[in-house]
Structure 1
Amino acid sequence: MPHRYQTAPMPASREPASLLSVDRAVAELRRGRMVAVRAAGGETALVLASEAATPEALDKLGELSGGDFVLAITARRAEVLGLVKSEAQVVALTPGGEISAETLRDIADPLTELPTTDSSQFEIAEAARYGCASAGVGLAKVARLLPAALCAAILDPEADDLDAWAARHDLFVVDAGDVFQYEYTTARTLKMVSEARVPLDGAENTRIIAFRPVDGGLEHLAVLIGEPGADAPVLTRLHSECFTGDLLGSLRCDCGEQLRAAIEAIGKEGCGALLYLAQEGRGIGLVNKLRAYELQDQGFDTIEANEQLGFDADERVYLPAAQMLRTLGIESVRLLTNNPDKVEALARCGVEVAERVSHRFPSNRHNETYLRTKQIRSGHLF
């Protein structure tokens, strides 16, 4: 399995058109529609997000594919359900009999009242790393949906020409390779699209530069304070957006404090950079973060909540941050962080981390368990 911060060996079919292809497929899934996926070796399948499973959708999935479906879920989700412990990233569940759309949705969603589930109800197999089922889960993640998808191999002999077949059935086709390379392709195509002077409290000499991938997707922001030079490591903060903490002042996290204190620290330094990254909820999106909060209220810690949803403890990648820093001419940083994984990740992306600068704040009664979990289970250095 490739390292979390490396790219998949399966190349995107074309660039930047590959981004537009994945964007379109994501839009289809978010609207409850299915898409056709084409993987290496001639494998083809119809994919539907588990959140969109309805009796009508299941009927259409079976009618068009001509075969049975599997429910593709992450190995994390399979393990917390007690189904199987696997080294694979995605597990494919083939129901042993009739199964309702509601049950399929419930298997993917830990916030529902799921009847007792055991491995005898399914034929369980590890999904091919670069196959259609894994691509389906990957698409669901990019769509910021629950990471689960229904996947049915296309058995219709007329689908040998997949593009023509899909056009007849009003389906969009996406290549699995484009899905697996999506994060890498978005990062490498980031370009500066606008810049403005924005005086900040405690850092009046500030510019904000917006970066956008070539497909017009999620934008990341660079907050440049002063004039960072190339002659010394630049004081830098990588800050993942947090609507609840940054904007609303949520007490469940320390994100708002980290953001404002980073600006203050860089302002006192005289120059530096804060990258405001579109990675809400450690990369799972705002809706899933709110789901994780509900699970935390049920007694799960911040890591367990992510795993219950089927995500890793941290789904972020730092390729966009590295690309932004390189574009800004910043090759070496003094990184404001308590997270050693962030130091390692940035270094793996080719940016020298000359020093880790502590970035700690007092806890409150709402976030003390969250911060303690990050220290004990994630190795954060407080």
Structure 2
Amino acid sequence: MSIVDVDRAAFELRHGREVEIDGQIIIHPEFLTEKIWQNLATQNLKLLVTPLRAKAIFNQEFTASVEIKLSDLSLQDVVLLVAGHSNANPKYLENATEQNTTALKLARIAELLPCAIILENSEDAYKISAADIMSYKEDENNSLFLAAETPLKLADAKKAYIKAFRPKSGNSEHLAIIIGDISENPLMRIHSSCYTGDLLGSLACDCGDQLRECIKLMDKQGGGIILYLLQEGRGIGLINKLRAYQLQKSGMDTVEANEFLGFDDEERGFESAANMLKILGITSVQIVTNNPKKAQDIENLGIKVTNRVPLLVSHEHNEQYLQVKSAKSGHIID
């Protein structure tokens, strides 16, 4: 099954092992040790990075993935290069091959930095096809099914019900939190998981505040649905989000930090949200969001949006964060 095969390939990559994609062999640099590096020393190694990561390294624009030659570099040089702090000046080549595109996509699926080291040979790499990697998200979203459901007592809602959805691969579980009673055209919010905001109450974003205020709004209006999607940090994963937070301490904003790491500003997809609504028999919604693009995205996926309901929670700590959302991501915060 292709979904399971890709999950296994991502597992191998996350555990420092080699993966072969249609003949191209990769390993992720995050897990390199001196011993592994010495064993690879006889090979002509290249570091594969996204155009945005290459821009951060070489301070120039790129339009395709970039292969950086690692000849004569030490492991420490490579570690610094991956982190964007190297003084080395290696040779590089833009190379937009299907294998490179899928290698970077697999790193994203594994929630690693979007980069990889290309090897010349391997004796025991896990083999996977580029086609399976490229269709992974679509296959995963299309295989969602209702796995569990139960009533749930919430502090801010008189009546709530939770439904858990899971793809056949067993990963990326998503929740539908149903507040009150659902109409034919209910209030609906797509809320991407935010460990720091939702659970810890971080003041750096508006996520946790929006989640709680949305529950209150839906309870007051009689009902609604919150689709809680497991896609942390705009889809880059928790560890990478924390790395982006650290970069923001040096003066970068949210978008700049994500792009410095090699990610696009927006790595999320909302296909799973649309599929969950369809499974629940909902074809029309009033979307609770400050982001008009999210409303358009969900309409493009076959769900009619009759109204956009704003939900702004601002304070002195997240003011700059909201301004960046407005200026660079199109959010309406007035």
Q: TM-score, normalised by structure 2?
A: 0.94
The residue aligned with 1:287 is 239
**CA–CA distance in 2 between the matches of 1:348 and 1:104?**
42
Measured after TM superposition, the shift of residue 311 of structure 1 is 0.6
Aligned-partner SS, 2:92:
strand
The residue aligned with 1:107 is 81
Aligned AA (1:52): F
Q: Aligned in 2, Cα 1:102/1:116: closer, same or farther, shift over 3 Å? A: closer
**CA–CA distance in 2 between the matches of 1:45 and 1:54?**
21
Tell whether the 8 Å contact from 2:18 to 2:124 is kept in structure 1 after alignment: no
Tell whether the 8 Å contact from 1:54 to 1:102 is kept in structure 2 after alignment: no
Alignment of 1:144-155 (within 5 A): 144-154=111-121
Q: CA-to-partner distance for each residue in 1:133-159, whole Å, 9 max, x for gaps?
A: 2222111111111111011354xxxxx
The residue aligned with 2:57 is 81
> Does residue 106 of structure 2 align to residue 139 of structure 1?
yes
Alignment of 1:142-291 (within 5 A): 142-154=109-121, 169-230=123-184, 233-291=185-243
Measured after TM superposition, the shift of residue 204 of structure 1 is 2.4
Tell whether the 8 Å contact from 1:243 to 1:280 is kept in structure 2 after alignment: yes
**CA–CA distance in 2 between the matches of 1:272 and 1:172?**
45
Root-mean-square deviation (Å): 1.7
**CA–CA distance in 2 between the matches of 1:123 and 1:248?**
42
Aligned AA (1:115): N
Tell whether the 8 Å contact from 1:363 to 1:371 is kept in structure 2 after alignment: no
The residue aligned with 2:95 is 126
Q: Aligned in 2, Cα 1:102/1:344: closer, same or farther, shift over 3 Å? A: farther
Q: Aligned in 2, Cα 1:341/1:201: closer, same or farther, shift over 3 Å? A: same
Aligned-partner SS, 1:81:
helix
**CA–CA distance in 1 between the matches of 2:296 and 2:236?**
21
> Does residue 252 of structure 2 align to residue 312 of structure 1?
no
**CA–CA distance in 2 between the matches of 1:52 and 1:100?**
15
Q: Aligned in 2, Cα 1:74/1:335: closer, same or farther, shift over 3 Å? A: same
Aligned residues: 333
The runs of 5 or more residues in structure 2 that have no matched partner are: none
The runs of 5 or more residues in structure 1 that have no matched partner are: 1-16, 39-43, 155-165
**CA–CA distance in 2 between the matches of 1:236 and 1:376?**
25
Q: CA-to-partner distance for each residue in 1:159-218, whole Å, 9 max, x for gaps?
A: xxxxxxx7xx33311111111111111111111000000022232221100000001112
Identity over the aligned pairs, expressed in percent?
A: 40
**CA–CA distance in 1 between the matches of 2:44 and 2:324?**
42
The residue aligned with 1:14 is none
Q: TM-score, normalised by structure 1?
A: 0.83
Aligned-partner SS, 1:273:
strand
> Does residue 13 of structure 2 align to residue 34 of structure 1?
no
The residue aligned with 2:296 is 344
**CA–CA distance in 2 between the matches of 1:353 and 1:289?**
30
Measured after TM superposition, the shift of residue 62 of structure 1 is 6.5
Tell whether the 8 Å contact from 2:156 to 2:212 is kept in structure 1 after alignment: no
Aligned AA (1:147): P
Aligned AA (1:35): V
Tell whether the 8 Å contact from 2:25 to 2:125 is kept in structure 1 after alignment: no
The residue aligned with 1:68 is 44
Q: CA-to-partner distance for each residue in 1:213-238, whole Å, 9 max, x for gaps?
A: 001112000001233233xx221000
